[in-house]
Each structure stands twice: as C-alpha cells, then as structure tokens.
Amino acid sequence: MSFWSWSGFFDYLVNPFILGGVLTTIWLTAVSLVFGLMLGLLIALMRRSKLGLVRSLGVFYVWLFRGTPLLVQLIVIYTALPQVGIRFSVVQAALIGLALNEAAYLAEIIRAGIQAVPDGQSRAARALGMTERQIMRHIVMPQAFKVIIPPLGNSVNGLLKTTSVTSVISMEELLRRTQVLIQEKFMVLELFAVAAFYYLLLTSVWDFVQRRIERDFGQSTAVASLTEKR
Amino acid sequence: MIEITGVTKYYGTYPVLKNCSTHVSKGEVVVVCGPSGSGKSTLIKCVNALEPIQQGSIKVDGIEVNDPATNLPDLRSRVGLVFQNFELFPHLSIEENIMIAQRIVLGRSESLARKQAMTLLDRVGMSGHAQKYPGQLSGGQQQRVAIARALAMNPKAMLFDEPTSALDPEMISEVLDVMTNLACEGMTMMVVTHEMGFARRVASRMIFIDQGEIVEDRPTEAFFTEGRNPRAEAFLSKILHH
C-alpha cells in the first residue's frame, strides 16, 4: 500500500457525498450568520439601552456565550436539554448553537461599530427632530456598518471553519462526512486533504468577496474619514 | 418666541446655569457671549431640549420644553440648531443631508424635499455642490450646508452654537454673511458667538453669561457704548484687543 494515492484524492474531490457536505457547510454558515446577525444586533442595542435590566441581560448573554466553548454549548443543546424535555433535531441544534454563539461575538463587533460613530452625529440628528429609532437606522447604523465590515468578514471566515464543530453532534457537514468515509475506506490522509482543500477554497472565495465589499464601501469611508479629521 | 425663566441646570452637583431668565422675541436676533465654560452653549442646547434642565421653564412658541408631555422631536424640528462642528452626515451627499429629516421627520415627498434642498442650497451659495459629500467641502462650505439643512425644516427660530469657532479665519465671513442675510429676512435667532463685529451689525440685544449667570442683557448699542459690568468689561477687552 502506498503512502499517498493521487487517484484516491481526486476521486473524493468530486465525490457526491463529500460535495453534499460542502453544500451543508455553506448553508450552515449562511443561515447561522443571518440569525447570528439579527440576534447580535438585538444584543448590541440591548447593551445600549437606558434600562439597567435590559443592559444587564445583554452583558450576561455575551458573557455566557463568549465564556463557554461552542462545543459545550452544542452538546448541552443537543444532548442535555432533552433531559428537561426540550428536544431538537441535529440540524436545529447545530443551527441554534452556531447562531447563539456567533451572536455573542457579532454583538461586540456591532457595538464597537456603533460606538465608533461620534456622538455629535446623533445630537445633530436629534436636533433635526429625528426619533432615537430613526437616528439609529438612518444615521448611526449606516456609518457603523463601514466600521463593522472588516471584523465581520473575519468573523464569517471563522464561522466557515467553526461549522466543523457541529460534527460532534453528528451534523453531516463537510468534516463529518469526511470522517464517515474515512471509517469505510481508511484513506485518512487523502480524505482529510480533500476536506482541507474545500475549507481553503471556501475561505479563499469569501476572502475575495470580502475584498470586493470593502472596496465598494471603501470610497465613501475615505470621504467619511476626511470629515472626522477637522 | 423663546422665553427662558429661572433656569437652573446642574452637571452632577456643579451648577452650569444659575437662575437664568431672558427671552427672544419674534424676528429678534440675540447674541450670547461669555468666557468658555460660562454656560452659554449649554443654555442654547437647553432651548431645544438637547440638555435637560432641573429648575425653571423654557417655552418655545408657547410650548413648554421641559414638560414630559411635550413631543420633543416635533419641537426640535421647529427650532433649527447649527453646531460648532457642522455635524453633517458623512455617509450622505449634500443634497441627501438636507433631504433626510424633511423625508423622515416631516414626511415630505422626495420631490418636494429635493426642491426645498435646492432652494436652500442656492440661498447659501452652495447649489453647485449638491451631489458632493461633506468630506469634499471646506469647513465654511460645510457650515453653510448645515445652516441650509436646519432651514429646510422651516424652523420658527434658529439657534447657533459658536458657528464660526471651528473655521479657518478666511472662511468665517462666508458663514457670517449667510447668517446676516437670514437675520435681515426676519428670522428669529439666538447666536452664541465671539464675533463682536457680527453682533454689533446684526444683534438687537446682547447677553453676557459668566459662571452660569446672565450678567448683562441689554440692547446691543447700549452694551457696546455704555458702562458694563466689570466681568463683561474684562471679557470684552480680551476678545476685542487681541
């Protein structure tokens, strides 16, 4: 038996079972990102609330989900919650775990973005008669967004790979499917190389997309930074 | 138009305004001056409730500013405020800067808001810059746009908080010219400024604030020619003879 089989590597590169896993990794990332962003925005806004209790809840959430490993969170959601009668399917548990965890990190990114917008901007909008909600939506968020994009892109890159953690609750994403094939075929190196290839491909494609987004927003950001100088 | 009665305000335990009373009648231009930290900017921000007050009353067009029942966004949309640092919205074009509050606060249609923006940009001599962004304009140009943005709401009164203090000297007059025209058209104005030449030309009354107290409040001509309170005297001699 040789150390490395090129034909094995290329076979598994186009294996439908593996390609299905790649697709799962992609939609798992996309869906948990969308939910993570929505929840993260809510948490970030909670942390800026005038009500002490609401603010504390936001702080508690971030503390809890950033302070424990995703692996533990997933296991709790999938295997421990049924003990108290709460049952989720594998897909539900994976999505919930990823989204809840991601939200804690995204909340901090969004909060930093909001804080980067000078207070004078809100004051000026308030002086024009805008309500706090309108100020957030039309004045603060669009400016915060430009600050948020680079760390957000970084976060997406991380999330693409973090989805592999859901393999422990038998979510059939790329890593899990790779391991399943390994147990049948024993081509450990070739199959892990295939998995690594696809993770690299996904992060590289995202890297390209992120650069495009940053470039498109870059121009108006340059303009914004000019006015900050004054 | 603006009635300020017995206003006292604290930052923590430190009193920034002590029992201040004055008024600005319709069509009147009142200039507020005083040393830095005297409370003059705070007073003007209290008028449109950007700063809360602890005692006293401020009425704008008959509406009590400090009443919890008062609709503050509605009130603020009827009193324009121009800031020292312009505070244009950097992510919006000049035209959009002037349109946004008209659209979302007053609910004007896009075409009406744009028409109003163009009229006002023309009035402040900035009509050629509608599609630019704030970062592409000089300080004086930005401040003129900020004035247009406040005027777009059709305010009943305009407040100016040191509108020329952040400007390079050569840009001060273009902003003061816009303000002078506005005064001549009969706008009610309350202006915090150190520009005494402007004050003498345009203001009908002068208010001098020191350490949170209104020390002087009298007609401009009298303020500049008659004997003054020693504190006002000391302040004026510093800013007039530097």
Structure tokens at B128: 């050629």
A89 to chain B, minimum CA–CA distance in Å?
A: 44
Q: What is the pLDDT of residues A53-94, one digit of tens each?
A: 999 999 999 999 999 999 999 999 999 999 999 999 999 999
Check if the interface score ipTM surpasses 0.85. yes
Please give the interface size between A and B, counted as residue pairs whose CB atoms are below 8 Å apart: 84
Per-residue confidence band for A214, with pLDDT thresholds at 50, 70 and 90: confident
The SS3 call for residue B92 is coil
Q: What domains can be seen in chain A, in order of their start residue?
A: 19-229 (1.10.3720.10)
Q: Other C-beta atoms within 10 Å of B23: how many?
A: 14
B166: chain A residues, CB-CB within 8 Å: 230
For residue B233, pLDDT over 80 is answered with: yes
Q: Give pLDDT, residue B242.
A: 58
Among A118, A114, A108, A203, which residue's Cα sits nearest to residue A152?
A: A108
Q: What is the pLDDT of residues B138-176, one digit of tens each?
A: 999 999 999 999 999 999 999 999 999 999 988 999 999
Per-residue confidence band for A230, with pLDDT thresholds at 50, 70 and 90: very low
As a whole number, mean pLDDT of residues A193-222 equals 86
At residue A80, what is the residue type?
A: A
Chain B interface residues (partner A, CB cutoff 8 A): 48, 50, 73-78, 80-81, 83, 85-91, 100-101, 104-106, 133-136, 139, 142, 149-150, 153, 166
Q: Distances from the Cα of B203 to the Cαs of A165, B47, B195, in angstroms?
A: 71, 19, 11
Q: What is the pLDDT of residues B105-140, one digit of tens each?
A: 999 999 999 999 999 999 999 999 999 999 999 999
Structure tokens at B156: 């009943």
Terminal Cα-to-Cα distance of chain A (whole angstroms):
70
A227 to chain B, minimum CA–CA distance in Å?
A: 5
Which of B74, B91, B136 shows the shortest C-beta gap to A129?
A: B74
Q: What is the pLDDT of residues A4-24, one digit of tens each?
A: 899 989 999 999 999 999 999
The residue to which tokens 């971030």 are assigned: A62
Q: Give pLDDT, residue A218.
A: 62
Among B41, B83, B4, which residue's Cα sits nearest to residue A119?
A: B83
For residue A42, pLDDT over 90 is answered with: yes
B46, B53 contact by CB (below 8 A): yes
Q: Give pLDDT, residue B117.
A: 96
Q: Give pLDDT, residue A224.
A: 47
Rounded Cα–Cα distance for residues A123 and A115 (Å): 14
Question: DSSP string of A69-120?
Answer: -HHHHHHIIIIIGGGGT----HHHHHHHHHHHHHHHHHHHHHHHHHHHS-HH
